[in-house]
Amino acid sequence: MTAPFFKFGMFGDNIGLVIAFAIGIGFGFFLERAGFGSARKLAAQFYFKDLAVFKVMFTAIVTAMLGVYYLSVLGFMDLSLIYLTPTFLAPQLVGGLIFGVGFVVGGYCPGTACVAAATGRLDALVFALGVFAGIFAFGEIYPIVSTFNDSTSLGQLTIPTAAHLPYGLIVFAVVLMALGGFYGAEWMEKHMAARKAGA
Amino acid sequence: MTTKPAQPYWNPYLAGVGLGLVLLTSFVVMGRGLGASGAFASVLTTGLHAVVPGHVANTAPFAEYLGNGTTSPLKDWLVFEILGVIVGGFIFGSLAHRISKTVEKGPNITTARRFGFAFLGGALMGVGAKFARGCTSGQALTGGALLNAGSWAFMIMVFVGAYAFAYLMRRQWQ
């Protein structure tokens, strides 16, 4: 086992921040090239016209998931040392719903808004101010919502653990699901384009 | 700002593989994934701490970003990562001739209304990301690739929420 490098003490916190900046540049590059600096392109996902959000997201998830899986099977990376955000099921379901409504209302998410603002999109700057306001509002209402926010705590939980199924089987299922989703997305885009041409 | 036409966007599957490899690099090198909303929280906490330090210390969702108080909340992994996203977005947006001071909206809505919706959408996402412990980067992408149960629950609900309100919002985009 040699990875994750940082966890094996190959460098310290300050080098970690330099790496964070470099990884961010890579992240920004691919978000920009995917077209995610445009709210119209992002929002088109929710009108079935351009399903790039779905395609990019799930290709990225599958790529990283397969990489993590094979590197850990080969003994190169210790999967248990990768930080896993704990599951709080109810607040995460409700948070996801609020976040999703915010996506189609605002047209960005926090990361894509940074790329959009950096390329001159004024609505992305206003959106970013909104994100600050939302995080501030959460802090102010925290005494009221803290009980709910801490409810249904399940700790660090993966789908294979929750379902009592082998990790590799879930990886395989996600790949199949993604391939089915890509096939459906291509069909849907063609169908919507044909409908528009016919109308 | 530039007269050359913008380069076309990449094939989404190619961009997705690239994004996935950046995420994988983060796992291999750092032992953690990507994020965005956490950087917003760090910046907000820093600003609030300068104005109302007592209030920040007494409000748990802000105080957690202060750490032990010996270093600035801005000296944080996600803050540096997001700085990279902004710099990378600007550099590679310039190279693709895509920098333009404009507002993203459909033809049937005024700029003022678009700004209103952008602010409201951002605020909803800020609240949603706090309840969810992350956003599209930290939960959907990172947790998705790690098969994190809570992340997949979050991701499914994001699509449910967005599609449920898409019809109401159609005049903003179409």
* Strand-pair partners of A3: A77
Within 8 A of B27 by CB-CB distance, chain A residues are: 3-4, 64, 67-68, 77, 82
Closest chain A residue to the Cα of B171, Cα to Cα: A105
Residue whose tokens read 């995420």: B23
Amino acid at site A122: L
3-state secondary structure B80-98: HHHHHHHHHHHHHHHHCCC
- Output the average pLDDT for chain B: 95
**Which of B131, B167, B172 to mutate to test binding with chain A, by most A CBs within 10 Å of its CB?**
B131
Mean of the pLDDT values across residues A93-101? 98
pLDDT score for A122: 98
Which of A41, A155, A5 is closest to B98 using CA atoms? Answer: A41
What percent of chain A has a predicted confidence (pLDDT) above 70?
99
**In angstroms, what CA-CA distances link B60 with B12, B64, B125?**
40, 6, 19
Is the CB of residue B43 less than 8 Å from the CB of residue B51?
Answer: no
pLDDT score for A199: 66
Residues near B84 by beta carbon (within 8 Å), at least 6 away in sequence: A20, A21, A22, A23, A24, A25, A26, A27, A28
Mean of the pLDDT values across residues A56-74? 98
d(CA B12, CA A194): 21
Residue whose tokens read 């290709």: A59
Per-residue buried b or exposed e for A149-180, using 16+ beta carbons within 10 Å of the residue's own CB: beeeeeeebbbbeeeeeebeebbeebeeebee
Q: Does residue B76 have a pLDDT over 80?
A: yes
Q: Tens of pLDDT along A149-177?
A: 999 999 999 999 999 999 999 999 999 99
The structure tokens listed for A79 are 């999967």
H/E element holding A155? strand A153-155
The structure tokens listed for A137 are 């509002």
Q: Tens of pLDDT along B124-153?
A: 999 999 999 999 999 999 999 999 999 999
DSSP letters spanning A19-80: HHHHHHHHHHHHHHHHTTT-HHHHHHGGGTS--HHHHHHHHHHHHHHHHHHHHHHTTSB-GG
Q: Does residue B1 have a pLDDT over 80?
A: no
d(CA A108, CA A134): 14
Residues near A9 by beta carbon (within 8 Å), at least 6 away in sequence: none
Q: Nearest C-alpha of chain A: how many angstroms from B68?
A: 16
Per-residue buried b or exposed e for A20-46, using 16+ beta carbons within 10 Å of the residue's own CB: bbbbbbbbbbbbbbbbbbbbbbbbbbb
d(CA A79, CA B24): 12
Tell if the CB–CB gap between B60 and A109 is shorter than 8 Å: no
Within 8 A of A199 by CB-CB distance, chain B residues are: none
Tell if the CB–CB gap between A106 and B106 is shorter than 8 Å: no
pLDDT score for B4: 84
d(CA B37, CA B79): 10
Q: DSSP assignment, residue A3? A: B
Residue whose tokens read 């291509």: A186
Q: DSSP assignment, residue A156? A: S
d(CA A138, CA A124): 21
* A85, A107, A117 member nearest B139 (Cβ): A85
Tell if the CB–CB gap between A106 and B120 is shorter than 8 Å: yes
Model ipTM over 0.95? yes
Q: Tens of pLDDT along B27-66?
A: 999 999 999 999 999 999 999 999 999 999 999 999 999 8
Tell if the CB–CB gap between A100 and B158 is shorter than 8 Å: yes
The reported pTM is 0.97
The structure tokens listed for A94 are 């409700």
Tell if the CB–CB gap between A67 and B33 is shorter than 8 Å: no
d(CA B7, CA B98): 8
Which of B79, B82, B49 is closest to B63 using CA atoms? Answer: B49
